[in-house]
Structure 1
């Protein structure tokens, strides 16, 4: 007795069962679409190999164990080799490939590349050779005619003849990168076919839409420069407010683009600007809160999961995301190939590179080495550029050109002056703010949440109205505050007032305040903060509009001894030393670049923890062999937990309990469940793991909202208000923003 049809996938909730040929045909449709959209991804011979990989990748599912697994018990047939463990289908697929015939058309290295892509298209346990020989010879052979009947005309009577063709360890660097492209694209096409989504969505005239958006002003020098040089990689230093985002989009043009930024609030803002103002809708939003952000923006009542699948598979012609969604492939762990394959034909934009930790900076450098080696292009767009990173790019042969500088000019064609800086070697106190006057848009940026909350309390004592923004608000309150600060930060808004924030507004948030009071963290961060004041305006008064506090003896969050210092102490100390030379005067855009050069050179950083960590990670991963490790590298040092503050739970108890009941209803669809989880997350705040453990030890957790094995939210007795956010008795992690 044999099966009537050969299944690739079983029937599941809302999806019909799929035949092997049906699934394969869906891959081939997507293969043709991808080839039409991006014909230069591969050379002609590699397109042929990818097509063959699509054709043969799943034929190994034509075996008794796999077919039985997809069927109900009563539909199964007798398995003569029930005592043999199931052989992964990728291994068995290779047995059907007509190797001898292919070697007449392709070189041995090309056939090896093809078979490796099929063999490893899913990462599985090591093959047991004797078991495979047994199954190939005695089980697979009986399915050959069925495969032909179903549509596979070019399958061979299966043989165990592929062993020497599938050894990964025999690959040199060129062969590895070729393998990455074929295997990675096969994975991309395979997932798209399984999820019933497009592997690639056509670009939608980005340049045309940008021109329409900027028609009042036209392209500026930077935008024109990058538009005319779309086929090169670049390192660009540009003044804040010069239109770097639009310039980067011109550089991407009708290519596939991936645009990275350090902060989620910046990503959300650019995503919304692309859709609502520029009119470019084929864009993906990718970070840790992707689903929630999509649900908030849905136009229909029913949320479409297709959006999420397309985004996570980089199907959109443009994706806006956090860097850690991209560069984790640097570990070359099993399964890394899809991301690097996508980056081989994409243009990667890295915005504000100086914002990243030494670990992420090292990963950027290493990532760019792989990306350029596999054929991808990159654009580093930044207000200041640490020479340490430039040196690393040159040393590794990634980019040898010096950064190209573009400064915003005034009506006399001179670089505009936007900031007059005064440095005060004392703690930032709200009385200083009051003395300077609050009848304007006042922005206060400090290094820690605790300091922000202290200043807010001082404002209340003085009867001064202020608002505070940091990362320790529940999602609902934070979103509302972000919208309000962006609204006040518009040039057209005439409201006055005080906003006290942490670095959550430091990069790529388009706000323009009148005066800045800030603690010093380090120079690059300071210049990011200064970019939120007189962002697009010339400053003509002969008095400070930027007040920098170096602390007495140190500002909040800075420590000479603790690893939890907001920035490396050496960098803080060097920043203070260099910045004092520019005290009580205008600081030009060129001087800001010179200051960063003086602080972030290898010589200036000698002996610092920053340099030590940067060098160690570059060295460690530069020497990493592909597939040496099974785990993705952890790019973020801070481990976090999601909790609901008890006062929030009491305030919204009925709503939260109803969501919990609805989530446990078995009739709830996946899209409804996602919407309910998104609603629940509005009451959640993200805290560091140390704070969660401390609460547990002190008995501050009496209950949990348990959704399923993956989602549960402890209700914690931390003090919380919608004005100040979450408060701890002991704030032992000064770096938590």
Structure 2
């Protein structure tokens, strides 16, 4: 009887054949990227990886589906048993890198208990297994002979000597008395305890070979299992879809797209500068680049042409942006080559649910979306758009990270809008770019604003020459845009509470007056966008605007968007906002509107407002917000007059500068941004300042924020901002052209960097997390689990909650769902129930006095049969019930007593 590999009846011979066939496909499609000897080693690793499954205990487990057979054998997993069944001499003679082959076989699966096996706490289990194998040597040799017979044809097909599989008495003898960790035979790649040996032995070439073998073995093993266990009509050929349009096909597609969009907007067709750029500098399509360009000039098309002809992995900071880019890329590449439409994939935490919703789109009719998601998760598609948390945490070297790195070493990685990440996540992205570049992959960092300290770090780590740090506005193609003025700014200093008074403030208004201005502009037909730094501030503005519009005939639409909505409501709100403020996709309606939002609009919504009100915020975030105003003008490179009236109002609150100051944003970064903008407004700023200018600028800044006593340290919780507010209140209206925006970012972060390097940790404290995280990553830090690595990258403090007042409604919806279902499916449950009730909330925003309860303990599921009840309990895990109000317009409103905000 044949050996089994899977509990579904797949034989070991069949599984190894599928893995080898997948290796062959990868070799055929990527042969030129790696030496022939590496492919030979990979085939050997694939041939050997599961030989430990001949273990009678494992075979019995597959046949009987019980946790452990009666023999009472060790818990040692089959991949480690495989090590005992490899002929050392044959391995040394056949493999170019035998250590890497052995490591790939041993660690193509990783178990949580491995540290104990390697470090001695459970070393006796290895010794017991070795003794057992020696005592039953004849049985093991008989098993090996049977396996030789089963794999003989396969070995011949791939030119492998089947005798490389044999009972290794030498290693069994050794492991009777020694732990795996002491042997030096296997070096676990994910244990910090072995870091000294790793650093001692580390060589870039060896590291590349180890990652290539380990990662591709995992990839082929996982894909073979997908073929064997899922009814998706897949074959080994599907492990890598090398479908790419030719450059001429891509040019034609993008030209048609430009033409159609221009016609829809009733605008002149924009220049195809991206094509001309690469025609003038074709060598820049090879190798890594940093590309800095304003919003709206065509960075995405630049990325398409840079990555043409190779696998592309495109990272964006937000799910909504990923969803929009997926649709955009499907159109662009589907127009270039019709057979490519179904091979544009996307990945993020809600990808399955988004695909399920997208499946109702007639444009996707006939596509197997389940198959598409499976191929995306196995990195098989030629174009994959993903959120950063799906890829970047691999730099923390969690178990199995090699699978992703193996793909990246043969791909083009595009990272868009790095400034959207917090300093710690930005450090992780910086390290990712370095790792991929060192593995011979190509990277493109693309952004509207790039803080100089990040640019400097990336430039040094990737060893990029100056011609590979491209500022579009300084190129011959971008000079026409550099002097373009789309925004005239004016500060508005206001008092939050009507009773609050401040002496010496010219033109200080109340918050009520500001809202009356916004409402009046919207009534006058303007599309007004107001962006606040916290959910609470946005909701308060919405309440006030609602009262101003209540009962007024012909009131303009009032919309609110932030992070605290159910998935269903947020999707509907986003669509409504894009309909009222289209960025050229549809005719621009004359009717005005007022949209109140948080930072979610900075990168996730493709909108174009007439007027922006924004709270003071860091300079790069401010410029991202400016990119949502008069966006249509960015498509006009010349012949455009600057605005004659202010179309951007920067709101500064007298008591605390802005909501979230010191919590959402670093207080010094916010204050320094306001100070530098005020100097720019007064014409008293040298944007290309030398170090001496930066020193003088910081001295003046300190006079403002440390006005009581310059010798004392600045208290980040202090709310005495009168001097800065007076400066901002006096500042006149001022215009910013596109080049000045880039230089303002450089100057602001340049001042912070200078303070940090001088040891002035108060003003430069923003950079602390960035550099400290890089130091940790450079030291060889490993995360124990992928989940933990993702949490660190995302700084996850989010919990899914259901308002207590909606529990009865939730219970009714759950009961109705169960009554309709014969076999409850999580996707249906998520879409029909959870998606209408759960809201993501930063748990630090919850009131300190709030009494929270697990939803699974509150909901009555006694009416559900036991089997389904266990499923429902599992699906409700981690969801909390909180004291809060919810409605589809305002979202989740927490009860009074918040101790922090998003």
Deviation at 1:500, TM superposition (A): 0.6
CA contact (8 A) 1:286 1:322 kept: yes
Q: Do the aligned partners of residues 695 and 67 (structure 1) sit closer, same or farther apart at CA in structure 2, a change above 3 Å counting?
A: farther
Match of 1:521? 617
Match of 2:531? 445
Give CA deviations for 1:404-456 in whole Å, capped at 9, x if unaligned.
11139899776422111112233553123246564211111111111111111
Q: Is the aligned partner of 1:386 residue 2:451?
A: yes
Match of 1:14? none
CA contact (8 A) 1:333 1:626 kept: yes
Look up the SS of the partner of 1:732 in the other structure.
coil
Match of 1:573? 671
The TM-score, its normalising length taken from structure 1, stands at 0.89
Match of 2:552? none
In 2: Cα distance, 1:117 partner to 1:278 partner: 36
Q: Do the aligned partners of residues 368 and 136 (structure 1) sit closer, same or farther apart at CA in structure 2, a change above 3 Å counting?
A: farther
Match of 1:157? 166
In 2: Cα distance, 1:218 partner to 1:431 partner: 38
In 2: Cα distance, 1:347 partner to 1:259 partner: 8
Match of 2:793? 635
Q: Is the aligned partner of 1:264 residue 2:319?
A: yes
Deviation at 1:187, TM superposition (A): 0.6
Look up the SS of the partner of 2:239 in the other structure.
coil
Q: Do the aligned partners of residues 37 and 691 (structure 1) sit closer, same or farther apart at CA in structure 2, a change above 3 Å counting?
A: same
Deviates more, 1:637-646 or 1:47-56: 637-646
Q: Do the aligned partners of residues 621 and 160 (structure 1) sit closer, same or farther apart at CA in structure 2, a change above 3 Å counting?
A: farther
In 2: Cα distance, 1:440 partner to 1:378 partner: 41
Q: Is the aligned partner of 1:115 residue 2:102?
A: yes
Give CA deviations for 1:573-621 in whole Å, capped at 9, x if unaligned.
1111111123312201110011000111211555233211111111112
2:816 aligned residue (640, 658, 668): 658
Q: Do the aligned partners of residues 603 and 311 (structure 1) sit closer, same or farther apart at CA in structure 2, a change above 3 Å counting?
A: same
Match of 1:133? 130
Give CA deviations for 1:14-52 in whole Å, capped at 9, x if unaligned.
xxx111110111112211222222224422111111111
Match of 1:406? 472
2:754 aligned residue (596, 603, 628): 603
CA contact (8 A) 1:643 1:715 kept: yes
Q: Do the aligned partners of residues 705 and 141 (structure 1) sit closer, same or farther apart at CA in structure 2, a change above 3 Å counting?
A: farther
Deviation at 1:242, TM superposition (A): 0.7
CA contact (8 A) 2:486 2:643 kept: no
Match of 2:23? 31
* CA RMSD across the alignment: 3.1
* Paired residues for 1:100-249 under 5 Å: 100-107=89-96, 110-124=97-111, 125=114, 126=117, 128=123, 129-137=126-134, 138=137, 139-152=139-152, 153=155, 154-155=162-163, 156-161=165-170, 165-168=185-188, 169=197, 171-174=201-204, 175-196=206-227, 198-205=238-245, 207=247, 208-209=249-250, 211-215=252-256, 216=259, 220-225=272-277, 228=282, 229-249=284-304
In 2: Cα distance, 1:281 partner to 1:210 partner: 20
Deviates more, 1:447-456 or 1:89-98: 89-98
CA contact (8 A) 1:222 1:406 kept: no
Q: Is the aligned partner of 1:547 residue 2:701?
A: no
Deviates more, 1:436-445 or 1:115-124: 436-445
Q: Do the aligned partners of residues 586 and 278 (structure 1) sit closer, same or farther apart at CA in structure 2, a change above 3 Å counting?
A: farther
Deviation at 1:189, TM superposition (A): 0.9
CA contact (8 A) 2:652 2:658 kept: no
Q: Do the aligned partners of residues 581 and 734 (structure 1) sit closer, same or farther apart at CA in structure 2, a change above 3 Å counting?
A: farther
Q: Do the aligned partners of residues 653 and 555 (structure 1) sit closer, same or farther apart at CA in structure 2, a change above 3 Å counting?
A: farther
In 2: Cα distance, 1:559 partner to 1:48 partner: 58
Deviates more, 1:633-642 or 1:684-693: 684-693
Match of 2:4? 7
Structure 2 runs not aligned, ≥5 long: 156-161, 172-182, 189-196, 228-233, 260-268, 335-340, 496-510, 550-554, 634-639, 682-732, 862-871
Match of 2:358? 297
Q: Do the aligned partners of residues 64 and 652 (structure 1) sit closer, same or farther apart at CA in structure 2, a change above 3 Å counting?
A: closer
CA contact (8 A) 1:202 1:317 kept: yes
Q: Do the aligned partners of residues 413 and 317 (structure 1) sit closer, same or farther apart at CA in structure 2, a change above 3 Å counting?
A: closer
Look up the SS of the partner of 1:380 in the other structure.
strand
In 2: Cα distance, 1:367 partner to 1:104 partner: 36
Q: Do the aligned partners of residues 526 and 682 (structure 1) sit closer, same or farther apart at CA in structure 2, a change above 3 Å counting?
A: same
CA contact (8 A) 2:620 2:745 kept: yes
In 1: Cα distance, 2:246 partner to 2:896 partner: 50
Deviation at 1:53, TM superposition (A): 0.9
Deviation at 1:98, TM superposition (A): 3.8
Q: Do the aligned partners of residues 166 and 598 (structure 1) sit closer, same or farther apart at CA in structure 2, a change above 3 Å counting?
A: same
Q: Do the aligned partners of residues 199 and 628 (structure 1) sit closer, same or farther apart at CA in structure 2, a change above 3 Å counting?
A: same
Match of 1:426? 494
Q: Which has the larger radius of gyration?
A: 2
Q: Do the aligned partners of residues 412 and 185 (structure 1) sit closer, same or farther apart at CA in structure 2, a change above 3 Å counting?
A: closer
Deviation at 1:625, TM superposition (A): 5.2
In 2: Cα distance, 1:526 partner to 1:434 partner: 22
In 1: Cα distance, 2:33 partner to 2:564 partner: 44
Match of 1:90? 79
1:355 aligned residue (412, 420, 424): 420
Match of 1:704? 859
Q: Do the aligned partners of residues 385 and 682 (structure 1) sit closer, same or farther apart at CA in structure 2, a change above 3 Å counting?
A: same
In 2: Cα distance, 1:191 partner to 1:629 partner: 18
Match of 2:588? 493
Matched residue count: 714
1:255 aligned residue (310, 326, 340): 310
In 2: Cα distance, 1:528 partner to 1:389 partner: 17
Q: Do the aligned partners of residues 679 and 420 (structure 1) sit closer, same or farther apart at CA in structure 2, a change above 3 Å counting?
A: same
Deviates more, 1:30-39 or 1:353-362: 30-39
Q: Is the aligned partner of 1:55 residue 2:47?
A: yes
Match of 1:364? 429
Deviation at 1:149, TM superposition (A): 2.4
Deviation at 1:278, TM superposition (A): 4.7
Deviates more, 1:551-560 or 1:457-466: 551-560
CA contact (8 A) 1:424 1:548 kept: yes
Q: Do the aligned partners of residues 476 and 694 (structure 1) sit closer, same or farther apart at CA in structure 2, a change above 3 Å counting?
A: farther
Deviation at 1:376, TM superposition (A): 1.5
Give CA deviations for 1:71-102 in whole Å, capped at 9, x if unaligned.
1289x9x97xx243133221222333343234
Match of 1:674? 827
Q: Do the aligned partners of residues 700 and 292 (structure 1) sit closer, same or farther apart at CA in structure 2, a change above 3 Å counting?
A: closer
In 1: Cα distance, 2:485 partner to 2:298 partner: 17
Deviation at 1:66, TM superposition (A): 0.9
Q: Do the aligned partners of residues 52 and 412 (structure 1) sit closer, same or farther apart at CA in structure 2, a change above 3 Å counting?
A: closer
Deviation at 1:645, TM superposition (A): 3.2
In 2: Cα distance, 1:219 partner to 1:45 partner: 47
Q: Is the aligned partner of 1:288 residue 2:384?
A: no
In 2: Cα distance, 1:309 partner to 1:160 partner: 42
In 1: Cα distance, 2:881 partner to 2:457 partner: 46
Give CA deviations for 1:103-161 in whole Å, capped at 9, x if unaligned.
33444xx1111111111111242265533433544243221222122224414332145
In 2: Cα distance, 1:318 partner to 1:629 partner: 27
Look up the SS of the partner of 2:240 in the other structure.
coil
Q: Do the aligned partners of residues 269 and 629 (structure 1) sit closer, same or farther apart at CA in structure 2, a change above 3 Å counting?
A: closer
The TM-score, its normalising length taken from structure 2, stands at 0.74
